[in-house]
Chains A and B, each alone.
Chain A
Amino acid sequence: MSAGHLIELGSVFLILIGTVAGSLSAIGFIRLPDVYNRAHALAKSCTLGVLFVLLGTFLFFLFVERYFSIKLFLGIFFVFLTSPVAAHMTCRAAYRSKVPLAEISVRDDLKEAMSREYNCEQKGGA
């Protein structure tokens, strides 16, 4: 068993771990109760899975095919940077379009702030 073979096996193993993490977070899409909780699964586990897959691909092509791909590196960076932003935007849009929280929720600090803002806008408009 040579070193090259070992590196190949390692990077393929990274890919496998990434896809397992992605499918586990996909199970979370079914089981978690509302939009806001699903955003946790999307922003963290799913992105971590994709990062592992892309890292495994990067290492595979670097060590097995001797090909350094800056494009793949940019892709990793971009996915890593944009997934929290996407989760934040969908959560915000969901709250603004009045999707209710799940019934097991225990606390909501944003409600009064939103109603205060709404009242201010009403006064300013009138």
Chain B
Amino acid sequence: MPMQVLINLFIGLLWMFFQNDWSALSFLSGYLFGLCVLFVIRRFLRSKFYLFTLHAVISLFLLFIWEMFISSILVIRKIITPQIRIKPGIVAMETSLEGDIEVTLLALLITLTPGSVVMEVSPDYKILYTHVMDIPELSDAVLRSRNRFEEAIKKVTRK
């Protein structure tokens, strides 16, 4: 992927030379042209076209913000009810992701989902121990959102 960005910058620079016009505008048009070229030859590249990866990263970031919003509203609602009736506990969750980056991202995302904080990761990265705020109400939702996050993270890191 860094190779693709470099090629794209090179095409933009070359375009600027061809135009004999040293301005940001001509560089930008050359960059867009380079994007088109890379999109056409994307079948022959070794890795995925980098705009797709960028799109996946941006959608993952939006998912982050959305989950944070929802979960904090839920936590605030739990706090300001007159009598706190919660059944907290620690739940073990298995994950199919591998490697440092993927597990770290998953742990960050799960910490931001409604009512769950990752407490401990087993040494072989297979099991996440999660503290859930209200087990009867939330454990299904946490499992469902974990599946969604795994999909989104695999789109970013896998080819």
Inter-chain contact A105/B89, CB cutoff 8 Å: yes
- The contact string, 1 if C-beta is below 8 Å from chain A, for chain B 21-49, is 00000000000000000000000000000
Known A-B contacts A105-B88, A109-B129; A44 and B68 likewise in contact (beta carbons under 8 Å): yes
- The contact string, 1 if C-beta is below 8 Å from chain A, for chain B 77-92, is 0011000101111111
B142 proximal to A (CB < 8 A): no
CA–CA, A108 to B71, complex, Å? Answer: 22
A residues with CB within 8 A of B:
21, 24-25, 27-28, 31-34, 36-37, 39-41, 43-45, 47-48, 51, 80-81, 84-85, 87-88, 91-92, 95, 101-102, 104-111, 113
B119 proximal to A (CB < 8 A): yes
Instruction: Tell me which residues across on chain A come within 8 A of B76, comparing CB atoms.
Output: 21, 24-25, 28, 45
B75 proximal to A (CB < 8 A): yes
Inter-chain contact B119/A45, CB cutoff 8 Å: no
B17 proximal to A (CB < 8 A): no
Instruction: Tell me which residues across on chain B come within 8 A of A31, comparing CB atoms.
Output: 79, 84
B108 proximal to A (CB < 8 A): yes
Partner of A28, one of B79, B112, B127: B79
Inter-chain contact A27/B119, CB cutoff 8 Å: no
Measured CB to CB, the closest approach of chain A to B135, in angstroms, equals 6
Measured CB to CB, the closest approach of chain B to A79, in angstroms, equals 11
CA–CA, A57 to B135, complex, Å? Answer: 38
Instruction: Tell me which residues across on chain A come within 8 A of B120, comparing CB atoms.
Output: 92, 95, 110, 113
